[in-house]
Structure 1
Amino acid sequence: MIREIMKDEMFLAQKAERATVEDLRVAADLLETLCAHKDGCVGMAANMIGVNKRIIAFDNEGSYVVMFNPEIVKKSEPYAAEEGCLSLAGTRKTKRWKSIKVQYQTAEFQTRYKTFTGWTAEIIQHEIDHCEGILI
Protein backbone atom coordinates (compact mmCIF):
# COMPACT_ATOMS: atom_id res chain seq x y z
CA MET A 1 0.00 0.00 0.00
CA ILE A 2 1.34 3.41 -0.96
CA ARG A 3 1.49 5.55 2.16
CA GLU A 4 1.49 9.30 2.68
CA ILE A 5 4.91 10.92 3.24
CA MET A 6 5.43 12.01 6.86
CA LYS A 7 6.50 15.64 7.20
CA ASP A 8 6.13 16.10 10.98
CA GLU A 9 9.67 16.92 12.13
CA MET A 10 8.88 16.05 15.77
CA PHE A 11 7.94 12.50 14.68
CA LEU A 12 10.89 12.24 12.29
CA ALA A 13 13.31 13.28 15.07
CA GLN A 14 12.46 10.20 17.18
CA LYS A 15 14.92 7.32 17.25
CA ALA A 16 13.33 4.28 15.60
CA GLU A 17 12.59 1.00 17.38
CA ARG A 18 14.09 -2.29 16.20
CA ALA A 19 12.09 -4.03 13.51
CA THR A 20 10.75 -7.56 14.01
CA VAL A 21 9.18 -10.19 11.76
CA GLU A 22 5.81 -8.55 12.52
CA ASP A 23 7.02 -5.54 10.49
CA LEU A 24 7.26 -7.32 7.13
CA ARG A 25 4.05 -5.57 5.96
CA VAL A 26 5.61 -2.19 6.84
CA ALA A 27 8.60 -3.09 4.67
CA ALA A 28 6.31 -3.99 1.76
CA ASP A 29 4.47 -0.66 2.12
CA LEU A 30 7.79 1.20 2.33
CA LEU A 31 9.02 -0.41 -0.88
CA GLU A 32 5.74 0.27 -2.68
CA THR A 33 5.80 3.92 -1.54
CA LEU A 34 9.43 4.30 -2.67
CA CYS A 35 8.57 2.87 -6.10
CA ALA A 36 5.67 5.31 -6.38
CA HIS A 37 8.11 8.20 -5.80
CA LYS A 38 11.00 6.82 -7.87
CA ASP A 39 11.13 9.90 -10.09
CA GLY A 40 12.25 12.08 -7.16
CA CYS A 41 13.42 9.65 -4.48
CA VAL A 42 16.12 6.97 -4.24
CA GLY A 43 15.65 5.83 -0.65
CA MET A 44 13.21 5.86 2.26
CA ALA A 45 13.10 4.94 5.91
CA ALA A 46 9.98 3.61 7.64
CA ASN A 47 9.49 6.80 9.65
CA MET A 48 8.96 8.62 6.34
CA ILE A 49 5.69 6.66 6.02
CA GLY A 50 4.74 7.18 9.65
CA VAL A 51 6.11 3.97 11.19
CA ASN A 52 8.88 4.36 13.77
CA LYS A 53 10.83 1.18 12.96
CA ARG A 54 14.43 0.57 11.77
CA ILE A 55 13.63 -0.37 8.17
CA ILE A 56 15.08 1.24 5.06
CA ALA A 57 14.55 0.71 1.33
CA PHE A 58 16.75 2.09 -1.43
CA ASP A 59 17.70 1.88 -5.08
CA ASN A 60 20.97 -0.04 -5.40
CA GLU A 61 22.02 0.66 -8.98
CA GLY A 62 18.66 -0.29 -10.48
CA SER A 63 17.38 -2.90 -8.03
CA TYR A 64 15.61 -2.19 -4.76
CA VAL A 65 16.96 -3.41 -1.43
CA VAL A 66 15.18 -3.52 1.94
CA MET A 67 17.20 -3.68 5.16
CA PHE A 68 15.92 -4.36 8.65
CA ASN A 69 17.80 -2.90 11.63
CA PRO A 70 20.70 -1.47 9.59
CA GLU A 71 23.75 -0.08 11.39
CA ILE A 72 26.99 1.33 10.03
CA VAL A 73 29.84 -0.64 11.61
CA LYS A 74 32.74 0.87 9.64
CA LYS A 75 33.22 4.06 7.62
CA SER A 76 36.05 5.78 5.78
CA GLU A 77 36.87 8.87 3.73
CA PRO A 78 34.57 11.68 4.91
CA TYR A 79 33.30 14.30 2.47
CA ALA A 80 30.80 17.17 2.37
CA ALA A 81 27.45 16.52 0.66
CA GLU A 82 24.23 18.39 0.03
CA GLU A 83 21.02 16.39 0.13
CA GLY A 84 17.28 16.75 -0.18
CA CYS A 85 14.52 14.68 1.38
CA LEU A 86 10.85 14.03 0.54
CA SER A 87 9.99 14.70 4.20
CA LEU A 88 11.78 18.06 4.37
CA ALA A 89 11.76 21.20 2.24
CA GLY A 90 14.90 22.25 0.37
CA THR A 91 18.41 20.82 0.61
CA ARG A 92 20.91 20.77 3.46
CA LYS A 93 24.64 20.27 3.82
CA THR A 94 25.86 17.20 5.68
CA LYS A 95 28.93 15.01 6.22
CA ARG A 96 29.02 11.61 4.53
CA TRP A 97 31.52 8.79 4.09
CA LYS A 98 32.70 7.41 0.72
CA SER A 99 32.76 3.82 2.01
CA ILE A 100 30.60 2.20 4.69
CA LYS A 101 30.18 -1.32 6.02
CA VAL A 102 26.61 -2.05 7.08
CA GLN A 103 25.30 -4.74 9.40
CA TYR A 104 21.63 -5.46 8.69
CA GLN A 105 19.00 -8.17 8.63
CA THR A 106 17.28 -9.62 5.58
CA ALA A 107 13.51 -10.18 5.28
CA GLU A 108 14.20 -13.61 6.84
CA PHE A 109 15.95 -11.79 9.72
CA GLN A 110 19.33 -13.26 8.92
CA THR A 111 22.24 -10.96 9.81
CA ARG A 112 24.41 -9.82 6.90
CA TYR A 113 27.34 -7.46 6.40
CA LYS A 114 28.00 -5.58 3.18
CA THR A 115 30.28 -2.75 2.11
CA PHE A 116 28.86 0.05 -0.03
CA THR A 117 30.63 2.93 -1.77
CA GLY A 118 29.80 6.13 -3.62
CA TRP A 119 26.22 7.15 -4.32
CA THR A 120 24.67 4.00 -2.82
CA ALA A 121 26.64 4.54 0.41
CA GLU A 122 25.36 8.13 0.58
CA ILE A 123 21.74 6.99 0.17
CA ILE A 124 22.10 4.38 2.93
CA GLN A 125 23.70 6.89 5.31
CA HIS A 126 20.79 9.30 4.76
CA GLU A 127 18.23 6.58 5.52
CA ILE A 128 20.09 5.28 8.58
CA ASP A 129 20.16 8.89 9.85
CA HIS A 130 16.35 8.78 9.62
CA CYS A 131 16.38 5.65 11.82
CA GLU A 132 18.50 7.54 14.35
CA GLY A 133 16.13 10.52 14.36
CA ILE A 134 18.74 12.69 12.62
CA LEU A 135 17.30 15.21 10.17
CA ILE A 136 19.70 16.53 7.57
Structure 2
Amino acid sequence: MIKPIVKDILFLGEKSQIATKDDIEVVNDLIDTLRANLNGCVGMAANMIGIKKRIIVFAMGDMIVPMINPIITKKENSYMTEESCLSLEGFRETKRYQTIEVEYLDRNFKKQKNTFNGFVAQIIQHEVDHCNGIII
Protein backbone atom coordinates (compact mmCIF):
# COMPACT_ATOMS: atom_id res chain seq x y z
CA MET A 1 0.00 0.00 0.00
CA ILE A 2 1.28 3.48 -0.86
CA LYS A 3 1.76 5.46 2.35
CA PRO A 4 2.08 9.22 2.94
CA ILE A 5 5.60 10.60 3.51
CA VAL A 6 6.38 11.72 7.08
CA LYS A 7 7.97 15.16 7.32
CA ASP A 8 7.99 15.52 11.14
CA ILE A 9 11.64 16.18 12.10
CA LEU A 10 11.10 15.10 15.72
CA PHE A 11 9.68 11.73 14.62
CA LEU A 12 12.42 11.25 12.00
CA GLY A 13 15.09 12.08 14.61
CA GLU A 14 14.20 9.06 16.76
CA LYS A 15 16.06 5.75 16.38
CA SER A 16 14.18 2.87 14.79
CA GLN A 17 13.68 -0.51 16.45
CA ILE A 18 14.80 -3.91 15.20
CA ALA A 19 12.36 -5.35 12.67
CA THR A 20 10.90 -8.85 13.03
CA LYS A 21 9.04 -11.23 10.74
CA ASP A 22 5.84 -9.54 11.95
CA ASP A 23 6.95 -6.43 10.04
CA ILE A 24 6.97 -8.00 6.56
CA GLU A 25 4.01 -5.84 5.45
CA VAL A 26 6.15 -2.77 6.15
CA VAL A 27 8.59 -4.05 3.51
CA ASN A 28 5.75 -4.34 0.99
CA ASP A 29 4.39 -0.87 1.87
CA LEU A 30 7.87 0.66 1.52
CA ILE A 31 8.36 -0.95 -1.90
CA ASP A 32 4.93 0.31 -3.06
CA THR A 33 5.60 3.80 -1.71
CA LEU A 34 9.06 4.00 -3.29
CA ARG A 35 7.65 2.83 -6.64
CA ALA A 36 5.06 5.61 -6.45
CA ASN A 37 7.81 8.19 -5.76
CA LEU A 38 10.59 7.04 -8.11
CA ASN A 39 10.39 10.29 -10.06
CA GLY A 40 11.94 12.10 -7.08
CA CYS A 41 13.34 9.42 -4.79
CA VAL A 42 15.74 6.46 -4.96
CA GLY A 43 15.47 5.07 -1.44
CA MET A 44 13.25 5.04 1.63
CA ALA A 45 13.39 4.01 5.27
CA ALA A 46 10.39 2.79 7.26
CA ASN A 47 10.28 5.91 9.44
CA MET A 48 9.55 7.92 6.29
CA ILE A 49 6.15 6.16 6.19
CA GLY A 50 5.58 6.43 9.93
CA ILE A 51 7.01 3.08 11.09
CA LYS A 52 10.01 3.14 13.45
CA LYS A 53 11.55 -0.14 12.27
CA ARG A 54 15.01 -0.77 10.78
CA ILE A 55 13.83 -1.46 7.23
CA ILE A 56 15.04 0.27 4.08
CA VAL A 57 14.42 -0.11 0.36
CA PHE A 58 16.32 1.37 -2.56
CA ALA A 59 16.29 1.34 -6.34
CA MET A 60 19.13 -0.43 -8.10
CA GLY A 61 18.39 -0.10 -11.79
CA ASP A 62 14.86 -1.40 -12.36
CA MET A 63 14.96 -3.47 -9.18
CA ILE A 64 13.88 -2.35 -5.70
CA VAL A 65 16.00 -3.98 -2.99
CA PRO A 66 14.76 -4.32 0.60
CA MET A 67 17.11 -4.58 3.58
CA ILE A 68 15.88 -5.54 7.03
CA ASN A 69 18.00 -4.49 10.05
CA PRO A 70 20.91 -3.24 7.90
CA ILE A 71 24.23 -2.57 9.63
CA ILE A 72 27.15 -0.96 7.82
CA THR A 73 30.18 -2.96 8.95
CA LYS A 74 32.89 -1.36 6.80
CA LYS A 75 33.37 2.06 5.17
CA GLU A 76 36.13 3.11 2.77
CA ASN A 77 37.12 6.31 0.93
CA SER A 78 35.13 9.16 2.45
CA TYR A 79 33.93 12.13 0.38
CA MET A 80 31.62 15.11 0.84
CA THR A 81 28.40 15.39 -1.16
CA GLU A 82 24.98 17.05 -1.13
CA GLU A 83 21.77 15.08 -0.73
CA SER A 84 18.06 15.75 -0.70
CA CYS A 85 15.26 13.77 0.90
CA LEU A 86 11.51 13.40 0.34
CA SER A 87 11.00 14.06 4.05
CA LEU A 88 13.07 17.27 4.08
CA GLU A 89 13.27 20.52 2.13
CA GLY A 90 16.31 21.39 0.03
CA PHE A 91 19.82 19.94 -0.15
CA ARG A 92 22.25 19.30 2.70
CA GLU A 93 25.97 18.59 2.76
CA THR A 94 27.03 15.28 4.26
CA LYS A 95 29.98 12.87 4.42
CA ARG A 96 29.62 9.53 2.66
CA TYR A 97 31.87 6.61 1.76
CA GLN A 98 32.56 5.28 -1.73
CA THR A 99 32.54 1.62 -0.65
CA ILE A 100 30.56 0.04 2.19
CA GLU A 101 29.94 -3.46 3.46
CA VAL A 102 26.45 -4.16 4.81
CA GLU A 103 25.04 -7.01 6.85
CA TYR A 104 21.25 -7.34 6.67
CA LEU A 105 18.32 -9.70 6.36
CA ASP A 106 16.62 -10.09 2.98
CA ARG A 107 12.83 -10.18 2.64
CA ASN A 108 12.92 -13.90 3.53
CA PHE A 109 14.86 -13.04 6.72
CA LYS A 110 18.00 -14.77 5.46
CA LYS A 111 21.31 -13.20 6.50
CA GLN A 112 23.16 -11.39 3.74
CA LYS A 113 26.49 -9.59 3.59
CA ASN A 114 27.36 -7.53 0.52
CA THR A 115 29.67 -4.77 -0.63
CA PHE A 116 28.22 -1.74 -2.41
CA ASN A 117 29.95 1.08 -4.28
CA GLY A 118 29.21 4.52 -5.65
CA PHE A 119 25.70 5.92 -5.77
CA VAL A 120 24.06 2.73 -4.45
CA ALA A 121 26.37 2.84 -1.42
CA GLN A 122 25.42 6.49 -0.92
CA ILE A 123 21.69 5.68 -0.99
CA ILE A 124 22.12 2.89 1.56
CA GLN A 125 24.10 5.19 3.88
CA HIS A 126 21.35 7.83 3.68
CA GLU A 127 18.62 5.32 4.52
CA VAL A 128 20.62 3.70 7.35
CA ASP A 129 21.04 7.22 8.76
CA HIS A 130 17.24 7.42 8.81
CA CYS A 131 17.12 4.19 10.85
CA ASN A 132 19.59 5.71 13.31
CA GLY A 133 17.59 8.92 13.67
CA ILE A 134 20.26 10.94 11.85
CA ILE A 135 18.85 13.78 9.79
CA ILE A 136 21.28 15.14 7.23
TM-score under structure 2 length normalisation: 0.99
Aligned residue in 2 for 1:30 = 30
The C-alpha deviation readout for 1:14-55, integer Å capped at 9, x for no partner, is 000000000000110010000000000000000000000000
Worse overlay, 125-134 or 58-67: 58-67
**Which aligned runs of 4 or more in structure 1 are off by greater than 3 angstroms?**
none
Mapping 1:51-70, distance limit 5 Å: 51-70=51-70
1:112 aligns with: 112
State the partner residue of 2:44.
Answer: 44
SS in 1 for 2:83: strand
1:32 partner SS: helix
C-alpha separation in 2, matches of 1:81 and 1:121: 13
Q: Secondary structure at the match of 2:89?
A: strand
Which deviates further from its counterpart, 57-66 or 40-49?
A: 57-66
After TM superposition, the structure 1 = structure 2 runs for residues 56-95 of structure 1, keeping only pairs within 5 Å, are 56-95=56-95
How many angstroms does 1:110 deviate by?
Answer: 1.1
Q: What TM-score results when the alignment is normalised by the length of structure 1?
A: 0.99
Partner of 1:128: 128
Q: Secondary structure at 1:87's aligned position in 2?
A: coil
- Gaps of at least 5 residues in structure 2 are none
Match of 2:99 in 1: 99
Aligned mates of 1:108, 1:33 — CA distance in 2: 20
CA distance in 2, matches of 1:73, 1:49: 26
Work out whether 1:15 is the aligned partner of 2:15. Answer: yes
Deviation, structure 1 residue 106: 0.9
**Per-residue deviation, 1:109:** 1.1
Identity, % of aligned pairs?
52
Alignment size in residue pairs: 136
Moved more, 58-67 or 8-17: 58-67
One-letter identity of the residue aligned with 2:96: R
